[in-house]
Amino acid sequence: MKSKYLLPLFFILLAQSLLGQTKFSREEFSSLICEKWKVTELVMDGMKVPDAELGENSIEFDMKGTYEVLEQGEAYAGTWSFQSDTQELLTDDRDGKERHKIIKLTEVDLIMEVIDPNGTFKITLKRI
């Protein structure tokens, strides 16, 4: 009798874990993001930028709240913070202040979305 309830319960719990979005605390977020990341995909307003045009772009975050970007061979620095209530990465650099919505963050993958006056950008990065 008990076994007939276990299977539906299992599927309910599995669905909740797969559909539920992970919410990070500041500490959890910092421990995952403070590494060097390489941009592997860029989608601008729904259109993927060809790999040939993407070039070599990377970003390295540190625990002090600063980061360094290497964009098409040019390096620049900025500061970052994390808003745990909105799950957003806030950056401030030569391009100004931006809010990046964290879509996915694991030990190997980082996917974020930024909406600015130039459009919507979805950036996929891999840990180097």
Could you report the per-residue pLDDT of 3-18, keeping only the tens digit for each? 555 445 444 444 444 4
pLDDT more than 70, % of the chain? 84
What tokens were used for 28? Answer: 């959890």
70 pLDDT higher than 90: yes
Instruction: Name the residue with higher pLDDT: 128 or 118.
Output: 128
Scanning 20-82, the segments in alpha helix (DSSP H) are 26-33, 51-54
Integer CA distances (angstroms), 61 to 1, 48, 93, 96, in order = 54, 25, 13, 17
Does domain 22-127 sit in CATH 2.30.110.10? no
Banded model confidence at residue 55, pLDDT cuts 50, 70, 90: confident
* Predicted confidence (pLDDT) per residue in 86-97, tens digit: 999 999 999 899
What radius of gyration do the chain's Cα atoms show?
18
